[in-house]
Amino acid sequence: MNLSALFDLSLRGRAQRLALEYTSHTGDVRPLTFSDVDGRASRMAQELVARGVGRGDRLCVHLANRVEFIDIFLACVRLGVVMVPMNVLYRERELRHIVSDSEPKAIVAARDSDAVYPAGAPVWFVEELAERAASREAERPAVAVDGDDPALIVYTSGTTGTAKGAVLSHNNLAANGITLTTVWRITDRDRYLAVLPLFHVHGLGNGIHSWLISGCTMRLLERFEQRTAAAVLADFKPTLFFGVPTVYVRLLDSSVISDEQARAVGDTARLFVSGSAPLPAHVHEAFRTKFGHTILERYGMSEALMIMSNPYEGDRRAGSVGPPLPGVSARVMGDDGIALGDGDVGEVEIRSSSLFKEYWKRPDATTAAFDDGWFRTGDLGVRSSDGYYTLRGRRGDLIISGGFNIYPREIEELLLEDARVHEAAVVGVPDDVRGEVPIAYVVADDAFDVSELHQVCRAQLASFKVPRTFLRIDALPRTALGKVQKHLLPPWDRRITSA
């Protein structure tokens, strides 16, 4: 089934009901019915057709959470165009690779974006696109789109440095959305508050899909800012909320939401879900005390969409990601390639109806990611005797900060571009708010002030990737074969607490 047919359950089936509330550029909150959303998508599709975009073409989108993001996504779905969402925090260096790899027809960006866009594709300003679309007929394009057609290419970096595009089909996204609405009991009576970025799978694959499949009402925030979010929680009274652990940590701050306000939010809410990074047990507990709700933690990856979830009914265990979702098979593999029993830690491998088929134009990486049809998640985990999985870290040296993935190699390569830097190693250190933050160890010329590297990173990397500190050392610890031993770097003993 293509996604359009699935979304029509709401777009056509609930046409006159309130679909969406969003804040316009003038600051007022505007409502749209599902029929309005449908019409906007058709007009946007007509505009894209007029610009020569068709089935199989890629379109890069570099936008914050604005209503036009949804128009463009739905237009792409209808036309069989493959949307390539790009993190709004990415700088030119990060955008360049995605654009050259995905070869899009165009990059859609906001007029006020301060990003420098790489050559190779025209930049279409979303304001102009929206204005032209508004004057077109709300006529659905007649394009036959298959369930196996790609809908999204989501770039996920790897330990190897360059980001790889995970190709997600209509069927993958449909399977994920249908599963989540079912197991989390999402219905048209829900009120979903969307605070997570739409350029990632969490906000788009889970949030937007659950909204459109269930036909609930969504309030869209341009981004998570704690005080705005607190005010909207009180005003919109959501029943459903998706967050990363950093979002929950922010909501526990009593200067943001008092205990009394939190109880009022909890009284009208139904479900809080956390994912994208491990939820610390103390946050789980503090949230239950303050809001009166047990956060449901789940586990997913861009390549596979959602994989495991604590149960809606039943025991939501702090520290565990629960059993596999319906449609997912999982196993824990030992280093010798033999499946392990309960209680033993190994790499989690999965098969699933929402699992991607390939990395874009990277057959080598695709082959390496699969083990006889099972996807190697790269996550270490253990299964309990009653089927709950607990994750025990990554095989590679991925850092997760505020729910954003950071691959040290990418930062190390940037640092090494400066001829005065001879060696560099980036590691994650604990952070009370963001889970982890990156710090850098560098071996450099004596005369070079390594703190200058901060500016270099700031200019060329998304802000969450910029190392908090640059520590000079004499040499990196290495094995006899020359491999860096990050665990032997001098200890970083200052715990960081983000502002």
**Contact residues for ligand MCA, defined by CB under 6 A:** 64, 88-89, 196-197, 200-203, 223-224, 226, 244, 246-247, 250, 275-276, 300-302, 402-404, 434, 463-464
Q: Which helix (H) or strand (E) holds 405?
A: strand 404-406
Residue keyed to tokens 């019915």: 33
Taking the least distance from each CB to ligand MCA, the nearer of 43 and 62 is 62
User: Least distance (Å) from ligand MCA to the CB of residue 350?
Assistant: 13
User: Least distance (Å) from ligand MCA to the CB of residue 74?
Assistant: 20
Tallying the residues shown for the chain, one arrives at 499
Number of Cβ within 10 Å of residue 224's Cβ equals 21
Taking the least distance from each CB to ligand MCA, the nearer of 81 and 229 is 229
Look up residue 484 and give its two tokens.
């860096």
Taking the least distance from each CB to ligand MCA, the nearer of 268 and 455 is 455
Taking the least distance from each CB to ligand MCA, the nearer of 24 and 463 is 463
Taking the least distance from each CB to ligand MCA, the nearer of 65 and 239 is 65
User: Least distance (Å) from ligand MCA to the CB of residue 403?
Assistant: 3
Taking the least distance from each CB to ligand MCA, the nearer of 8 and 397 is 397
Separation of alpha carbons 199 and 95, rounded Å: 13
User: Least distance (Å) from ligand MCA to the CB of residue 361?
Assistant: 21
Number of Cβ within 10 Å of residue 180's Cβ equals 27
DSSP state of 387: S
Taking the least distance from each CB to ligand MCA, the nearer of 176 and 217 is 176
H-state helical runs in 362-407:
363-369
Separation of alpha carbons 291 and 438, rounded Å: 31
Residue type, 278: P
386, with CB counted inside 10 A (0-12, 13-18, 19+), is exposed
Number of Cβ within 10 Å of residue 170's Cβ equals 23
User: Least distance (Å) from ligand MCA to the CB of residue 201?
Assistant: 4
Residue keyed to tokens 């057709």: 49
Taking the least distance from each CB to ligand MCA, the nearer of 246 and 310 is 246
User: Least distance (Å) from ligand MCA to the CB of residue 430?
Assistant: 15
User: 124, 53 in Cβ contact below 8 A?
Assistant: no
User: 454, 466 in Cβ contact below 8 A?
Assistant: yes
**Across-strand partners of 74?**
none
User: 308, 317 in Cβ contact below 8 A?
Assistant: no
Taking the least distance from each CB to ligand MCA, the nearer of 178 and 279 is 279
Which residues, 6 or more positions from 417, have their beta carbon under 8 angstroms from its beta carbon? none
User: Least distance (Å) from ligand MCA to the CB of residue 300?
Assistant: 3
Please provide residue 433's backbone torsions phi and psi, each rounded to the nearest 5 degrees.
-100, -45
User: Least distance (Å) from ligand MCA to the CB of residue 39?
Assistant: 27
Separation of alpha carbons 365 and 359, rounded Å: 7
Taking the least distance from each CB to ligand MCA, the nearer of 11 and 283 is 283
Look up residue 297 and give its two tokens.
């933690």
Residue number closest to ligand MCA, CB atom: 402
| SS3 state at 18 | strand
User: 198, 208 in Cβ contact below 8 A?
Assistant: yes
| SS3 state at 255 | coil
User: Least distance (Å) from ligand MCA to the CB of residue 491?
Assistant: 25
User: Least distance (Å) from ligand MCA to the CB of residue 98?
Assistant: 15
